[in-house]
């Protein structure tokens, strides 16, 4: 029969009571929201976070980053890296926006061809096609040509920036249709 005895001067490991450390970020976020809400009422006599207009603006501005984060999360989980996401978004949005220009703008890119005032679905589908093509090229380079993801996506990042600059000739694309 075995006897277990404690060594003098050592204590048994104790479990630390309290919340998990992951909750610290959540608690900090809640404190910041409450602080800004109080400051909003004190300084502006209105809600800061719980205001419909401000919430819609925050959601709209974060939507693109959120969609990109979902895709990049999948890449990182599979052990890769993608440097080209932001540049692809930039090129895609410029190309899609050029098809959403209004005929009121005299310098619209496709005004001579008559491709202005198009239904909103057309620029969206064109943007999706451009982004899909860039992603497909990245995927094929990594999976079948066996180029390391860092190099393939770095090349796509530079290519997408170059395409955006070439496509717009360095000019801003503005005056979308009202539906866009």
In the chain, domain spans = 22-62, 80-180
Residue 20 burial (CB < 10 Å; 0-12/13-18/19+)?
Answer: exposed
pLDDT at 36 over 80: yes
Handedness of CA 54, 122, 90, 165 (dihedral sign): negative
pLDDT for residue 88: 95
Determine the Cα–Cα distance for residues 120 and 100; give it in Å rounded to an integer: 7
pLDDT for residue 126: 94
Per-residue pLDDT tens for 77-89?
A: 988 888 999 999 9
Name the residue with higher pLDDT: 43 or 128.
128
Name the residue with higher pLDDT: 40 or 162.
162
Per-residue pLDDT tens for 63-82?
A: 888 988 898 898 889 888 88
The 10 Å CB-count burial string (b at 16+, else e) for 44-68 is eeeebeeeeeeeeeeeeeeeeeeee
For the chain, the average pLDDT equals 84
Rounded to an integer, the average pLDDT of 135-140 is 94
Per-residue pLDDT tens for 146-178?
A: 999 999 999 999 999 999 999 988 888 777 777
Determine the Cα–Cα distance for residues 111 and 94; give it in Å rounded to an integer: 16
Q: What percent of the chain has pLDDT above 70?
A: 86
CB 102 within 8 A of CB 116: yes
Determine the Cα–Cα distance for residues 27 and 29; give it in Å rounded to an integer: 5
> What are the structure tokens assigned to 15, written together?
């479990």
Rounded to an integer, the average pLDDT of 87-116 is 81
- Contacts with 97 (C-beta within 8 Å, 6 or more apart), sequence order: 123, 173, 176, 180
């Amino acid at each position: 029969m075995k006897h277990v005895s404690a060594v003098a001067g050592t204590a048994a490991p104790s479990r630390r009571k309290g919340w998990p450390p992951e909750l610290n970020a959540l608690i900090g976020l809640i404190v910041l929201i409450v602080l800004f809400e109080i400051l909003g009422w004190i300084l502006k006599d209105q809600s800061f976070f719980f205001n419909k207009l401000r919430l819609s603006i925050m959601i709209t501005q974060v939507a693109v980053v959120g969609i990109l984060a979902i895709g990049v999360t999948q890449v990182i989980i599979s052990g890769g890296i993608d440097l080209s996401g932001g540049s692809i978004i930039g090129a895609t949005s410029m190309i899609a926006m050029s098809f959403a220009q209004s005929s009121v703008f005299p310098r619209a890119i496709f005004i001579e061809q008559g491709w202005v005032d198009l239904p909103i679905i057309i620029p969206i589908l064109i943007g999706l096609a451009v982004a899909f093509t860039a992603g497909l090229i990245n995927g094929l380079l990594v999976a079948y040509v066996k180029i390391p993801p860092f190099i393939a996506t770095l090349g796509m990042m530079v290519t997408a920036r170059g395409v955006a600059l070439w496509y717009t000739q360095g000019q801003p694309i503005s005056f979308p249709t009202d539906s866009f």
